[in-house]
C-alpha cells in the first residue's frame, strides 16, 4: 500500500514545494508556518518534509498548518493537531516519551559511559608500565646495531 | 563476445580471490614462504581480471548493447556519452562491480607498495582483503550479475534516472566508493595485526596512509554529493540527514577518529586496542552503508534498489566480517597493552577526547538512522508466534508504531557534540605529548578567543532578532580557523619574524596538513551557520517582464520558452539579475521532462559568488498568468565546500609527509625478521 502511495505521489502533477498562493500575508505567521513545516514529514514521500515536498498531500498539510495558525493555535497545538490526524509518522523529531527515550539518550548515555571508561583508562596511564621486553630477534638486531 | 569475456573474467576473479584468501593466510600461519608469496601476484591478477570485467561492461554501455539487461534498464541511445559511462555505476549491479574493482585496486596497491611490510603481515593483510573480495564477488555473481543477457533485446533502453544525469553525480559514487572501500585496508590491517598478535608504532605508520587516503576520498565524495543536492534538488539544501547520506557520514566520522588515534599508536605506542577496534568499526559502518544503500531497507530519496534477497546477503557479509573481527578482537585485544605514560592533560588525552566525541556523534547518527526501522519491527505485534513480544513485556511499546527520524532530530542530537569538538579542538591540537600545561596553551590562544568572541558578539548585534545560530557558528568557526593558524605559528618557535617565516616553510607537511584540515573544518562550520541562518527566500508569481527584489538584487523574468535537449524537453526561463541598475548576470533556470522515464526535474540556475550565491528556480505557469518563481540569496554557500576541500587538501598534505615517503625506503634497506 505504501509503495502504491509513493508511486501515486510521483505520478501526481508535481507542484513544487511552497506555492505563492499558500503564503500568508502576515510575515510573522508565515515564518512560523515555515518552521513548523520543516518539522513535519510528507506522509507519502521518501524522507522529505512538507516544506520541500512536491506531493499534493504536502500542499494540503501546508495549507492546514496555515489555517490553524490563522485560527490562533500555538506552534505545539498545530503540531498536535496534525499528529492526531496523521499519526506520529509525520513527526521528524520523535517525542521524548516511551521507547523514544532510548533514541534521545543514546548519545548522552554513550558519552557518559565512554567518558567514564576513558577517564579510568587515562588515570591508569599516569602510572609507569615497565617497558615490554624485546623479542629474541629484536635483541639480536639490537646487538648488531650496537656493534656497528 | 566482449561481454562474455567480461563475465568470464569476473568468474575467474572470484577463483583468484579464493586462492588469495586461503593460501597466504595458511602460509602465514604455518610460516610457509611459498604459500605467502602467492598473495602478491594473486592480488595483481585479481585487479586485472576485474578491470577486464569493468571494461567489458563499460563497452556494453558505450555501444548501447541492449541485449544486456543492465544496459536496457539504465541506458538509452540518446543519452550523452558522459552519462552512458557514468550509467555503468549508476545502478545496483554496476556499482557493485565498481566496489569490487576499487577493492581489488587497493589490494593490488598494498601488494605492490607494501614490500616494506613484514612478510607474514603482508600475506595476512592481502588474505583478509581477498576474503572481502570473495564475499563481494560472489554477492555480485549470485544475486546481482551485471552480465545477464536478454533473449529478446528491445529496440532501446529505459534511460537512467534523470536526477542522476548530472556531472556532479557522475563522479560522486566513485569517490564515495574509494572512501568506503579504502576503509577495508584499515580493516585488513587490523585483522592481520590481531592474527599476528602484535601492534606497534610501525603498524600505526603503515595503516595511517591508507586510512588517510580513504578519508580524503570520502570527504570529496560526500562534498560532491552535498554540492549536487544543493544545486540539483531545487531548494538549495545541502544536507538532509537522509539515511543514505548518514551511511556515508558514519564511516567518515569513524575514519576521522581512526586517523587521530593511529597517530597515538604511531608516536606513542598507546591506544592500540582502541585503534584496532576503530579500524574494524570504520569498515563495519562502510558495510552498513552499503547495506542501507543497496538493500533499500530504509527507503530514501537515494534508494533505487530494493530486493530482500540482496539485503540478506549483504547482512550476512556484514555479520560474518564484523562478528569474526570482533570475536578475534575480544580474544586478542588484551594482549595489546599500551606502553606510553602520560598525564591527564596531554595530547594523548586530547586525542582520546576527540575519539570519544567523534565516536559518540557517529553513534547518534547510527541510532537515529536505524531507529525507525527498529521501532517498526520491534513494535509490530504484541505476540511473536506463541511468545509475547518482549518489548511489550518491558513496556517499551504498547502498540504497533511507525515513526520518522529526520533533520530536526539530528540537528538537536548531533550538533552539541560537534560544538564540543570545535570548542576543544584548538586547545587539544596544541597540547604537547606526555605532559602538558593547559595554561600555557590557553594563553597562546587568548587572542583568537577574544577575536572569535568579538566577531560573534558583533554578528549578534547586527542581526538583531534572529536566531543565535550565526553568531555562535561564526565564533566557533573563527575559533577553529584561528586556532589552526596559531598552532602553525607556534610551531616555528621563537625569534625574529623572518626567521619564523623561514621555519614556517620548512615545517613538516604533516604540520601543514593538520593546520589546513582543521582550518577547513572551521570554514565549514562558519559557512553552514551563515548560510543556514542568513539565507533569504522569495516565492512569488511573476509575469514575463516583471521584476522582484532579492536581498538587494533585482531579478527580472525576461522570457520563458521551450527548448529541446538531447533526451529531455525543457521549459527554460531567462532571468536577468541586476544590482542598482548594474547587470550582474543572466540566468536560465529550467524545468525538464525526461519522456523516457516520464519524470520532471527542476534545474536551478545559480550565479556563484565568493560571498553569496543567487539561486533561481522556475515553477509552474499560474492560472491567472505568470509563473511561480523562487529566488534564494545564499551567503557563503560555497565556503561549505571550500572548507571540505581544505579538509581533503590537509589530508593530502599529511599523506605526502616525509615520514611516509622516506621511511619506507629506509625500512627497505634492512631485512625485517619474520618473527
Query: What is the per-residue pLDDT across A99-148, written as a single tens digit (0 to 9) for each?
Result: 889 999 999 999 999 999 988 888 877 765 555 667 778 888 888 888 86
- Alpha-carbon distance B358 to B252, whole Å? 10
Whether A47 sits inside 8 A of B240 (CB atoms) is yes
Q: What is the pLDDT of residue B305?
A: 41
Query: Residues 174 to 233 of B: which have CB under 8 A from any A CB?
Result: 233
Q: Could you report the predicted ipTM of this complex, rounded to two decimals? A: 0.84
- Alpha-carbon distance B109 to B43, whole Å? 9
Q: Does residue B87 come out as left (phi exceeding 0), alpha (psi in the -120 to 50 range) or beta?
A: alpha
Closest CA to B186 of B313, B315, B316, B325: B325
Q: What is the pLDDT of residue A52?
A: 84
Q: List the single residue in A16, A41, A110 with the smallest CB-CB distance to B406.
A: A41
- φ/ψ of B628, rounded to 5, equals -75, 125
Whether B240 sits inside 8 A of A18 (CB atoms) is no
- Partners of residue B630 in chain A, C-beta under 8 Å: 17
Judged against a pLDDT cut of 90, whether residue B662 lies above it is answered with no
Per-residue pLDDT reduced to its tens digit, A59-86? 999 999 999 999 999 999 999 999 999 9
Whether B403 sits inside 8 A of A110 (CB atoms) is no
Whether A88 sits inside 8 A of B401 (CB atoms) is yes
Per-residue pLDDT reduced to its tens digit, B564-587? 888 888 989 999 999 988 999 999
Whether B371 sits inside 8 A of A103 (CB atoms) is yes
Q: What is the pLDDT of residue A131?
A: 58
Q: List the single residue in B402, B406, B622 with the smallest CB-CB distance to A47.
A: B406
Length of chain B counted residue by residue: 675
Closest CA to B204 of B70, B340, B81, B87: B340
Q: Are B79 and B160 in contact (CB under 8 A)?
A: yes
Mean pLDDT of B153-165: 79
Return all residues near B330 (Cβ < 8 A) that are at least 6 apart: none
- Kindly report each contact of residues A128-133 with a partner whose C-beta sits within 8 Å and lies 24 or more positions away, as own/partner: A128/B341, A129/B337, A129/B338, A129/B339, A129/B341, A131/B339, A132/B337, A132/B339
- Alpha-carbon distance B301 to A127, whole Å? 53
Closest CA to B550 of B584, B588, B601: B584
Q: Are B254 and B278 in contact (CB under 8 A)?
A: yes
Mean pLDDT check: name the lowest of B559-573, B621-635, B656-670: B656-670
**In whole angstroms, what separates CA B186 from the centre of its chain?**
16
Q: Are B170 and B224 in contact (CB under 8 A)?
A: no
Residue of chain B minimizing CA distance to A111: B360
Q: Best interface-test mutation with A: which of B229, B539, B618 has the largest number of A CBs within 10 A?
A: B539
Q: What single-letter DSSP state applies at residue B586? A: E
Closest CA to B618 of B606, B626, B627: B627
Q: What single-letter DSSP state applies at residue A54? A: -
Mean pLDDT, chain B, integer: 87
Considering Cα of B45, then B51, then B56, then B57, what sign does the dihedral take?
positive
Query: Residues 15 to 74 of B: which have CB under 8 A from any A CB?
Result: none
Query: Residues 328 to 347 of B: which have CB under 8 A from any A CB?
Result: 337-344
Whether B402 sits inside 8 A of A87 (CB atoms) is yes
Distance from CA of B350 to the nearest CA of A (A): 11
In degrees, rounded to 5, the angle at the alpha carbon of residue B644 between the alpha carbons of residues A93 and B81 is 95
Closest CA to B616 of B552, B557, B528, B545: B557
Q: List the single residue in B237, B397, B622 with the smallest CB-CB distance to A52.
A: B237
Mean pLDDT of B211-225: 93
Whether B409 sits inside 8 A of A17 (CB atoms) is no
- Partners of residue B404 in chain A, C-beta under 8 Å: 41, 47, 88-92, 94
Q: Are B517 and B479 in contact (CB under 8 A)?
A: no
Residue pairs spanning A and B at CB distance below 8 A: 153
- Alpha-carbon distance B608 to B112, whole Å? 43
Q: List the single residue in A100, A114, A138 with the smallest CB-CB distance to B359.
A: A114
Per-residue pLDDT reduced to its tens digit, B272-303? 889 999 999 999 999 888 877 777 666 544 44
- For B390-435, the three-class secondary structure string (H helix, E strand, C coil) is HHHHCCCCCCCCCCCCCHHHHHHHHHHHHHHHHHHHHHHHHCCCCC
Q: How far apart are the first and last CA of chain B?
A: 49
Residue B2 CB-half CA count within 13 A: 14
Amino acid at each position: 500500500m505504501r509503495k502504491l502511495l509513493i508511486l501515486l505521489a510521483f505520478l501526481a502533477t508535481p507542484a513544487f514545494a511552497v506555492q505563492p498562493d499558500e503564503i500568508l500575508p502576515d510575515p510573522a505567521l508565515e515564518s512560523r508556518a515555515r518552521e513548523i513545516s520543516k518539522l513535519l514529514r510528507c506522509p507519502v514521500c521518501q524522507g522529505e518534509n512538507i516544506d520541500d515536498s512536491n506531493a499534493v498531500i504536502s500542499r494540503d498539510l501546508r495549507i492546514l498548518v496555515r489555517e490553524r495558525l490563522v485560527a490562533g493555535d500555538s506552534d505545539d497545538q498545530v503540531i498536535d493537531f496534525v499528529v492526531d490526524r496523521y499519526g506520529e509518522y509525520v513527526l521528524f523529531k520523535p517525542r521524548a516519551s516511551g521507547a523514544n527515550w532510548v533514541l534521545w539518550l543514546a548519545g548522552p548515555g554513550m558519552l557518559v559511559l565512554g567518558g567514564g571508561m576513558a577517564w579510568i583508562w587515562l588515570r591508569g596511564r599516569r602510572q609507569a608500565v615497565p617497558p615490554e621486553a624485546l623479542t629474541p630477534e629484536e635483541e639480536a638486531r639490537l646487538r648488531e646495531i650496537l656493534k656497528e | 563476445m566482449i561481454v562474455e569475456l567480461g563475465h568470464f573474467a569476473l568468474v575467474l576473479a572470484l577463483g583468484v580471490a579464493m586462492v588469495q584468501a586461503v593460501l597466504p593466510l595458511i602460509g602465514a600461519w604455518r610460516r610457509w614462504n611459498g604459500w605467502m608469496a602467492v598473495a602478491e601476484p594473486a592480488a595483481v591478477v585479481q585487479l586485472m581480471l576485474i578491470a577486464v570485467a569493468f571494461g567489458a561492461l563499460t563497452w556494453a554501455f558505450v555501444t548501447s548493447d541492449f541485449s544486456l539487461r543492465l544496459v536496457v534498464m539504465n541506458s538509452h541511445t540518446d543519452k550523452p556519452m558522459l552519462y552512458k559511462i557514468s550509467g555503468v555505476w549508476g545502478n545496483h549491479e554496476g556499482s557493485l562491480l565498481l566496489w569490487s574493482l576499487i577493492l581489488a585496486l587497493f589490494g593490488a596497491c598494498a601488494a605492490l607498495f607494501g614490500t616494506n611490510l613484514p612478510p607474514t603481515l603482508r600475506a595476512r593483510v592481502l588474505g583478509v582483503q581477498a576474503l572481502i573480495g570473495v564475499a563481494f564477488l560472489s554477492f555480485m555473481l549470485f544475486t546481482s550479475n551485471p552480465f545477464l543477457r536478454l533473449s529478446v533485446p528491445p529496440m532501446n533502453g529505459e534511460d537512467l534516472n534523470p536526477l542522476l544525469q548530472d556531472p556532479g553525480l557522475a563522479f560522486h559514487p566513485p569517490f564515495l566508493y574509494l572512501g568506503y572501500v579504502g576503509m577495508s585496508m584499515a580493516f585488513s590491517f587490523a585483522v592481520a595485526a590481531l592474527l599476528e598478535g602484535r601492534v606497534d608504532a610501525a603498524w600505526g605508520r603503515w595503516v595511517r596512509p591508507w586510512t588517510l587516503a580513504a578519508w580524503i576520498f570520502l570527504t570529496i565524495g560526500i562534498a560532491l554529493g552535498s554540492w549536487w543536492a544543493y544545486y540539483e534538488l531545487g531548494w538549495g539544501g545541502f544536507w538532509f540527514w537522509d539515511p543514505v547520506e548518514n551511511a556515508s557520514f558514519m564511516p567518515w566520522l569513524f575514519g576521522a577518529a581512526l586517523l587521530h588515534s593511529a597517530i597515538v599508536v604511531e608516536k606513542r605506542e598507546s591506544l592500540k586496542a582502541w585503534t584496532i577496534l576503530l579500524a574494524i568499526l570504520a569498515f563495519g559502518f562502510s558495510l552498513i552503508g552499503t547495506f542501507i544503500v543497496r538493500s533499500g531497507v530504509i527507503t530514501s530519496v537515494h534508494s533505487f534498489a530494493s530486493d530482500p534477497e540482496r539485503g540478506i546477503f549483504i547482512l550476512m557479509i556484514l555479520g560474518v566480517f564484523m562478528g569474526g573481527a570482533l570475536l578475534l578482537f575480544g580474544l586478542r585485544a588484551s594482549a595489546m597493552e599500551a606502553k606510553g605514560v602520560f598525564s591527564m592533560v596531554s595530547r594523548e588525552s586530547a586525542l582520546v577526547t576527540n575519539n570519544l566525541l567523534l565516536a559518540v556523534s557517529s553513534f547518534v547518527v547510527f541510532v537515529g538512522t536505524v531507529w525507525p526501522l527498529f521501532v517498526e519491527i520491534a513494535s509490530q505485534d504484541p505476540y511473536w508466534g506463541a511468545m509475547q513480544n518482549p518489548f511489550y513485556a518491558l513496556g517499551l511499546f504498547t502498540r504497533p508504531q511507525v515513526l520518522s527520524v529526520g533533520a530536526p532530530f539530528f540537528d538537536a542530537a548531533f550538533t552539541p557534540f560537534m560544538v564540543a569538538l570545535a570548542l576543544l579542538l584548538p586547545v587539544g591540537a596544541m597540547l604537547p605529548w606526555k605532559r602538558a600545561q593547559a595554561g600555557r596553551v590557553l594563553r597562546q590562544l587568548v587572542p583568537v578567543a577574544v577575536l572569535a568572541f568579538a566577531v560573534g558578539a558583533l554578528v549578534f548585534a547586527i542581526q538583531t532578532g534572529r536566531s543565535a545560530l550565526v553568531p555562535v557558528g561564526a565564533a566557533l568557526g573563527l575559533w577553529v580557523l584561528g586556532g589552526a593558524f596559531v598552532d602553525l605559528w607556534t610551531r616555528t618557535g621563537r625569534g625574529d619574524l623572518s626567521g619564523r617565516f623561514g621555519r614556517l616553510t620548512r615545517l613538516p607537511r604533516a604540520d601543514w596538513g593538520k593546520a589546513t584540515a582543521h582550518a577547513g573544518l572551521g570554514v565549514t562550520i562558519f559557512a553552514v551557520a551563515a548560510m543556514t541562518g542568513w539565507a533569504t527566500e522569495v516565492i512569488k508569481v511573476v509575469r514575463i517582464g516583471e521584476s522582484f527584489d532579492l536581498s538587494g538584487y533585482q531579478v527580472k523574468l525576461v522570457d520563458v520558452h521551450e527548448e529541446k535537449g538531447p533526451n529531455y524537453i525543457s521549459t527554460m526561463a531567462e532571468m536577468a539579475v541586476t544590482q542598482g541598475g548594474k547587470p550582474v548576470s543572466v540566468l536560465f533556470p529550467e524545468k525538464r521532462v525526461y519522456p523516457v522515464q516520464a519524470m520532471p526535474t527542476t534545474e536551478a540556475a545559480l550565479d556563484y559568488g565568493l560571498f553569496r550565491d543567487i539561486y533561481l528556480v522556475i515553477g509552474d505557469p499560474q492560472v491567472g498568468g505568470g509563473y511561480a518563481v523562487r529566488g534564494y540569496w545564499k551567503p557563503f554557500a560555497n565556503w561549505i565546500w571550500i572548507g571540505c576541500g581544505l579538509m581533503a587538501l590537509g589530508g593530502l598534505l599529511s599523506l605526502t609527509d616525509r615520514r611516509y615517503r622516506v621511511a619506507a625506503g629506509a625500512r627497505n634497506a634492512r631485512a625485517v625478521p619474520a618473527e
